[in-house]
Chains A and B, each alone.
Chain A
Amino acid sequence: MNKPWYLDRRTFLRGTGVTLSLPFLECMSVNASVAQRPKRFCAVYFPYGVSMSSKDENAKWRWFPEGEGANYQFNESLKPLDPLRDNLTVLGGLSHPNGRTIGGHDTADIWLTGAMLKGAQMTNTISLDQIAAEHIGNETRFRSITLSNTGGVGEVTRSSTLSYTRSGQPIPAINQPRLVYNRLFGVEKGSKEEQRSQLTNSRSMLDLVLDHSKSVRGKLGRRDQEKFDEYLASVRQIEERVERSEQWLDIPKPSVNAIGLHLDADDSTPEELMKTMYDLMFLAFQTDSTRFATYQLDNMNGATSIAGKFPQLLGFGKSSHSLAHGGNKPAGAEALGKWDQFRAKQFSYFLKRLRDTQEGEGNLLDHTIVMYGSSNSNTHNNKNYPTILAGGDKMGFKHGQYLRYNEDTPFANVHRTILNRLEVPVDAFADSNGELQEIVA
């Protein structure tokens, strides 16, 4: 294997707090070619849309800014992002054409895929982060990480994950900060030899299980076989992960300073939970443990969404769904706007952390594309997705604008633009018909 420069950097990280040793690391990475800096992508999603009251007295709580182009002003909802306006673009008017044909609450599944859900099982297609991870995710310990506040996959059209495999299978999201931390930075048990032999055993075991399972499959009825193929695909994928772990065995996981991380935060402490998830994504990027992350803040299923009550717990009065429904009422626009603002504040914290962390001659944010938004404008409306595209300044983005589009521009053009900036060699994505020229430098 041709070892890239950053592997050596990892070795230096052994036993030290990353935050402490950064100045030293900076010397190294400056010497390395700037052109080789990693390119990253991260997507953060929230459901049910935003405050967009048409009434003048509620104008200051509208999520979308006033004005257009470079001369726009944030309203209250996005004020926390003002210090970052040079690093981001607000996009309006976009939506997935396929999303416009399905129910108001059905669209979270396709935000990153643009798919037409097909067949009896309503199969999805591959998500943006996974395409990128497939092509250029090979250089990190983890191809990608998938997070959400509810966790798991949820159910079709009400999913609690943003990421889908090539075959359209949902990837379960992790909702416990401690599990994320353990995967990324936790110490593996046993000596290196023990770990190696366990990996070898895993490989043999999975081979044998796969063979055995094929014979089980043969005995099943047709419908059962279709369902059972999920299992076979999973075995194959984890075989690949085992191989990957073998390659990474000699490189210790980075050690990070866990002080200030609320690793045991859960649905009873939403503010800490979300902050910690953002922190973990930041640390994952900073340590180059992965370059692709998705994080779903809440899903559109009251029946399973444990995050629906977060605004209530945080003093915003109603559940996230009820806040969204109230958005057109006199006091509702403000209530929803304040919740929008709270989310923007947390998001701004994440962007700032990325921006304020040096990497090479720039900072982490200028090599990280962050997409933030929803697939509803207000509660049941599947058009005009509220969208913010941030970061990636040194990957060819031109920021600082508020751009409006009409329905001729499919939302997937954003995805395609992102893939192009990541230099992922694909010609198209979903139903995209071009790049968003206006945001490309």
Chain B
Amino acid sequence: MSISLRQLDVQDKAIIISVTAPGEMGRRLRDMGLVPNTEIEIIGRAPLKDPVALRLRGFTLTLRNNEADHITVEKKEPSA
């Protein structure tokens, strides 16, 4: 089931399905490695719930919620 990255909770893991952000924002997201088929993990949220910190490709990245809205992901079910 594909959902917006914003809807993920801390410690959720997911695979990026698509990044639909246009222009500069889209380019920044791609430059930082947010492209389809990338595995991400939400590792925290700022004290006011926004921005969100996520891990991908071995490093940590922060995103604002309105930027996360442009990223569709498929949530991975936690493996027991």
A binds B: no
